[in-house]
Structure 1
Amino acid sequence: MSQQSPTTSAEAPMTHREVLVALSGLLLAMFVAMLSSTVVTNALPRIVTDLDGTQSGYTWVVVATLLAMTATTPIWGKLADLFSKKLLVQSALVIYSIGSVIAALAPSMGVLIGGRVVQGLGVGGLTALVQVVIASMVSPRERGRYSGYIGAVFATATVSGPLIGGLVVDSPLGWRGCFFVGLPFAVAAFFVLQRRLHLPVVKKDVQIDYLGATLIVGGVSLLLVWVSLAGASFDWISTTSALLVVGGVVVIAAAIYVEARVATEPVVPLRLFRDRTVALATLASAMVGVSMFAATVYLSQYFQLSRGMSPTEAGLMSVALVGGLLVSSIVSGRIISRTGYWKRWLVAGLSAAVVGLALLGTIDADTSLVAVGAFMAITGAGLGASMQNLVLAVQNSTRQADLGAASSSVAFFRSLGGSIGVSVLGALLSHQVADQVRTGGAALVRDGVAPPAGQAGGHQTSSIPDLSALPAPWRDLYENAFGSATGHIFLVAVPFAILALVSVLFIREVPLRTTLDAAPEKVAEGNGSTVPVPAAPRD
């Protein structure tokens, strides 16, 4: 068996300036990852209209990326324990760029969704690897300080993404230009990493659990296809539904068996969950994923379809959400780094998220935009104080050797929660709009208002109309339907946020350690003495 290169736990810590220099390329990579989702959010209604898509298509443009990211995040994390982290980050940037080009040139919804899958493969790498690389450079105690920088970049991408996306959609470039926006940043990040990032190279026999990753995402995908299409393409109670549900459960059970009994190096090491902090923080992260993606994906649709805003105006409204996220992520990161205590921020953040989501659950087509903005700011503040710090809590209780697997597992379950949340909440929104339009449309027809061409007083759960082409009474009906349905899905998200809060309450706080590893590794000399392990070679 080949020997693993020595670890760097006894190596002199990097200075703040050295960390910032190395961090510059990582932050650019993180910006690319975040931009890929935020820049397209405000373009989705226009994309679906131009490509003759459906509400299910709208959902799957998002879910496809999330599922690809979910499936590959643990694999990227495992590779980070085995190979050059710099090379992996650069590979993820290249894959992301290829997916962006495919999506930008897509002639149909199917090709677009395929391009988004490729994008998701790259984003999965960037999401997992940036956290892992930072964890390999600084101790958990200092990591809170740099988590603030990550939060700032996250906020910048989230603020600028919808604004840039809205401006691009409303420009001659159209929605296709949204997929080209991230390419210059990806190229810049690639070359900055090549020059600035130098980390230990670890070489070891590779045993990647492709079977486990395939089974996990396959089982989840079957269930999400069922949730997305049932009621539109086939009945909820039908042979197709039964096959999808049973098949999904069987495949997930097989995945658990493979992870527990078969895989030598499982993609999600179940032994990590024997640690209470890891288990509870991972559960909380999955529940946060439901809340986070619901807020970002469906608020944009609300502003455009219920409030009649342009993509640019919808992008401006997102400033409220991200403003709260920006402030709370930076403030909490700095204070945690100074004090070493993190649990109070998780409790306060998730409490704010519960309140914010409950308030968003009250919105409809007539709610004051000032009130909606305030509700978004509260939700953003809660998410900002919890997302990064959940990863930090897990890293603090994990050995350096398991850091990649543990960090990526948290990201894995957050993405999994997001995939499930977007799909389930999207299906719920679609059915609620259909019911309200069907009832309201029948009333309009009885009052002598002619239905739009092809509607005949009804509405299919899969369709998204071009509201600007509808007669005023029908446009008002759709706007009200989308407004009240959006409020309802936020209420549905509240219990998930509450479960995340309860999980965090049961975590036992351990102050952040000031070393990279819990116990610096040493090797024994022939006389029984110990000496520090020398530094591994660098990229």
Structure 2
Amino acid sequence: MFAVTGDLFEPRERAKYQGYSAMIFAVSSIAGPLIGGFLTDHASWRWVFYINLPLGVLATVTTVLFLRLPKPEGKPRVDYAGIVLLGAAVTCFTLVTSWAGTRYAWGSPVVLGLAAGAVVLFAVWVLVERTAAEPVIPLRLFRDRSFAVACVVAAVGGATGFGLAVYLPMFFQVVGGVGATESGLLLLPMMIGLLVASMGAGRYIERTGRYHRLPAASMGVSVVGVALLATMDTGTGLLTAGCFMAVLGFGAGLSQQVVMLIAQNAASRRDMGAASSGVFATRMLGTAGGMAVFGSIVASRFAEEVGRRVPDGQVPAFGDAVRPEVLDVLPQPVRDGVAEAFSAAFSELFVAALPLLVVGLVVAFLLPQVPLAARER
């Protein structure tokens, strides 16, 4: 999608349309889980998948009938070795982030083996890409400071924005005592903040052609948002929490689409797709890594806190504490202790995210102001 936007529009105009993409993302992020929950409650969980079939057909037909792109020159040479190696490396990394601290301990042979496999596969992939005729992600892109900064900011934004957002509904369910559907709706302020910032950044770039301070502003505002979230406890009202999340969403939105524009502006036309996918991939890897690390922090800190606040023999495991059917049957003193333990664990989670954002802020200041090209090279 991002590469298509790069082909269709000039850089200044592209920023505006990437803002529209952010709007669609924000709406779908809210509507998707709500519709899925409704279908699961009133029909069947299978309809969560069935409903995507007509939507997919509609998207395919629309693309075939209306999308017109420039024809590529020559026949592309597919980098099969690079695709396989990168896919295998990302798979190992994803399994590490999914299993470490949950299914297996961080020091278990399975997790260590997968981590070692990811490192080795990434190293071999780099060696293969150096000699590939048309590599999946040309390594020359990383020698461009703009592209490298965009990747770092995208990874940090993914970890601290989307990585933290995954755990916020848990906070509202356990600490605030709201239901699963309501906790999803409580993410609305964050999505609105992200939407407003993305649209505003796109309009600003379209008018001025300037963008190089937006990633730094994104990291700075996100620092404020995460610091505010770190102050939440069992007495924090939903309105106050919503305001804090709106600040974090606004910070994430300032760089959500801008990093893609920066990467595309740094790449030649032949590398447009690779640059777009490279930034998107680093954001997803940052999100996966952030979810794993932050999840481990919450689980370990919760185990410490709940042991001090709940009597022996009544201490629930972290996985049970986030299940409504378990919370509903706990005695009120035990439930209060679980809520306080969760609150303390989440405060540490947000504090742990601050150094990562500071690194992103420092790196963002290294971004040069490269004029947006009138036409792609």
Corresponding residue for residue 135 of structure 1 = 6
Deviation at residue 224 of structure 1 after TM alignment: 5.3
Q: CA RMSD in A?
A: 2.5
Distance 1:254 1:232, change over 3 A: same
Give the Cα–Cα distance (whole angstroms) in 2 for the partners of residues 281 and 264 of structure 1: 25
Corresponding residue for residue 43 of structure 2 = 173
Give the Cα–Cα distance (whole angstroms) in 2 for the partners of residues 144 and 132 of structure 1: 13
Corresponding residue for residue 315 of structure 1 = 184
Partner of 1:385: helix, strand, or coil?
helix
- Listed as ranges, the gaps of 5+ residues in structure 2 are none
Which residue among 393, 397, 416 is the counterpart of 2:266?
A: 397
Task: Determine whether 1:256 maps to 2:116.
Answer: no
Query: Counterpart amino acid of 2:235?
Result: D
Deviation at residue 177 of structure 1 after TM alignment: 4.1
Which residue among 208, 216, 221 is the counterpart of 2:78?
A: 208
Distance 1:484 1:173, change over 3 A: farther
Greater Cα offset, 173-182 or 427-436: 173-182
Identical aligned pairs, as a percentage?
37
Corresponding residue for residue 29 of structure 2 = 158
Corresponding residue for residue 505 of structure 1 = 365
Corresponding residue for residue 330 of structure 1 = 199
Q: TM-score normalized by structure 1?
A: 0.64
Distance 1:153 1:247, change over 3 A: closer
Whether the 8 Å contact between 1:323 and 1:377 is mirrored in structure 2 is yes
Give the Cα–Cα distance (whole angstroms) in 2 for the partners of residues 351 and 146 of structure 1: 25
Task: Determine whether 1:418 maps to 2:278.
Answer: no
Task: Determine whether 1:386 maps to 2:251.
Answer: no
Once the two structures are superposed, residues 20-74 of structure 1 have per-residue CA deviations (whole angstroms, 9 ceiling, x without a partner) of xxxxxxxxxxxxxxxxxxxxxxxxxxxxxxxxxxxxxxxxxxxxxxxxxxxxxxx
Query: Counterpart amino acid of 2:338?
Result: Y
Distance 1:288 1:213, change over 3 A: farther
User: Which one has a bigger Cα radius of gyration?
Assistant: 1
Corresponding residue for residue 342 of structure 2 = 482
Greater Cα offset, 243-252 or 324-333: 243-252
Once the two structures are superposed, residues 303-340 of structure 1 have per-residue CA deviations (whole angstroms, 9 ceiling, x without a partner) of 22332212221132111101111111111111211111
Corresponding residue for residue 364 of structure 1 = 233
Whether the 8 Å contact between 2:146 and 2:266 is mirrored in structure 1 is yes
Distance 1:158 1:245, change over 3 A: closer
Greater Cα offset, 153-162 or 268-277: 153-162
Partner of 1:488: helix, strand, or coil?
helix
Query: Counterpart amino acid of 2:365?
Result: L
Whether the 8 Å contact between 1:438 and 1:457 is mirrored in structure 2 is no
Give the Cα–Cα distance (whole angstroms) in 2 for the partners of residues 282 and 208 of structure 1: 24
Whether the 8 Å contact between 2:97 and 2:292 is mirrored in structure 1 is yes
Give the Cα–Cα distance (whole angstroms) in 2 for the partners of residues 150 and 237 of structure 1: 40
Distance 1:307 1:328, change over 3 A: same
Query: Counterpart amino acid of 1:500?
Result: G
Give the Cα–Cα distance (whole angstroms) in 2 for the partners of residues 177 and 487 of structure 1: 37
Deviation at residue 172 of structure 1 after TM alignment: 1.8
Distance 1:230 1:273, change over 3 A: closer
Whether the 8 Å contact between 1:304 and 1:311 is mirrored in structure 2 is yes
Greater Cα offset, 385-394 or 465-474: 465-474
Give the Cα–Cα distance (whole angstroms) in 1 for the partners of residues 348 and 318 of structure 2: 16
Which residue among 301, 306, 328 is the counterpart of 1:432?
A: 301
Corresponding residue for residue 70 of structure 1 = none
- Listed as ranges, the gaps of 5+ residues in structure 1 are 1-129, 446-455, 519-539
Which residue among 222, 233, 244 is the counterpart of 1:353?
A: 222
Which residue among 146, 168, 176 is the counterpart of 1:299?
A: 168
